[in-house]
């Protein structure tokens, strides 16, 4: 079922790949192998007791990789597949684990741990000088712009009142 086929350009194309919990285990996100092997295939197939087959007519080339010699869904696709049934806290832990083992990098602004530390040191120094700030992430600004603006307005009103009293 997991045999490779060659296409016109002699690329190896895997008709089915390890996915979901099995892919998470292969990527190191799960510490223990799942009891049932998950695979995603481009056509519907009947599963045996050992396999759970997921059907996906859209499994792009970039969604297919190889890990330890086994065709597997890419890290982002694996996380996407798992997020369908997982609780938000579980996905958050998986994202954190993926960053810990350096398979995924979500510090888009900081870039490195050193930059992250410099930003926090700068914030500490500004606070000691009496300068307060509110940090807003891009995803929060995109998802909750009204709440962010409300909080900023409240912060500025309080700051103005403090300055008027001084």
pLDDT higher than 70, residue 9: no
pLDDT one-digit tens code per residue, 55-75: 887 788 888 899 989 999 998
Percent of the chain with pLDDT over 70: 84
pLDDT one-digit tens code per residue, 128-158: 888 788 888 878 888 888 998 999 889 888 8
CA distances 137 to 11, 38, 57, 60, 146, Å, are 41, 35, 35, 30, 14
164: left (phi over 0), alpha (psi -120 to 50) or beta: alpha
**Are 46 and 55 in contact, with CB atoms under 8 Å apart?**
no
pLDDT higher than 90, residue 22: yes
The predicted model gives 93-114 an average pLDDT of 75
Residue 125 sits at the vertex; the CA angle it makes with 160 and 136, to the nearest 5 degrees, is: 60
pLDDT value of position 108: 59
pLDDT value of position 106: 64
pTM metric for this prediction? 0.54
SS (H, E, C) the chain: CCCCEECCCCCEECCCEECHHHHHHHCCCCCCCCCCEEEEECCCCCCCCCEEEEECCCCCHHHEEEECCEEEECHHHHHHHHHCCCCHHHHHHHHHHHHHCCCCCCCCCCCCHHHHHHHHHHHHHHHHCCCCCCCCCHHHHHHCHHHHHHHHHHHHHHHHHHHHHC
């Amino acid at each position: 079922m997991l045999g490779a086929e060659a296409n016109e350009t002699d690329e190896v194309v895997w008709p089915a790949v390890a996915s979901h919990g099995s892919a998470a285990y292969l990527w190191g996100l799960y510490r223990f192998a799942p009891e049932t092997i998950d695979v995603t295939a481009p056509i519907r197939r009947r599963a045996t007791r050992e396999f759970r087959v997921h059907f996906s007519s859209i499994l792009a080339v970039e969604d297919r990789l190889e890990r330890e010699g086994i065709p597997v869904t890419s890290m982002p696709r694996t996380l996407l597949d798992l997020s369908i049934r997982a609780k938000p806290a579980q996905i958050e832990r998986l994202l954190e684990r993926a960053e810990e083992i350096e398979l995924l990098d979500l510090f888009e602004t900081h870039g490195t741990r050193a930059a992250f530390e410099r930003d926090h040191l700068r914030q500490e120094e500004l606070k000691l000088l009496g300068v307060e700030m509110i940090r807003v992430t891009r995803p929060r600004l995109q998802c909750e712009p009204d709440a962010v603006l409300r909080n900023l307005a409240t912060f500025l009103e309080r700051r103005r009142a403090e300055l008027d009293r001084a």
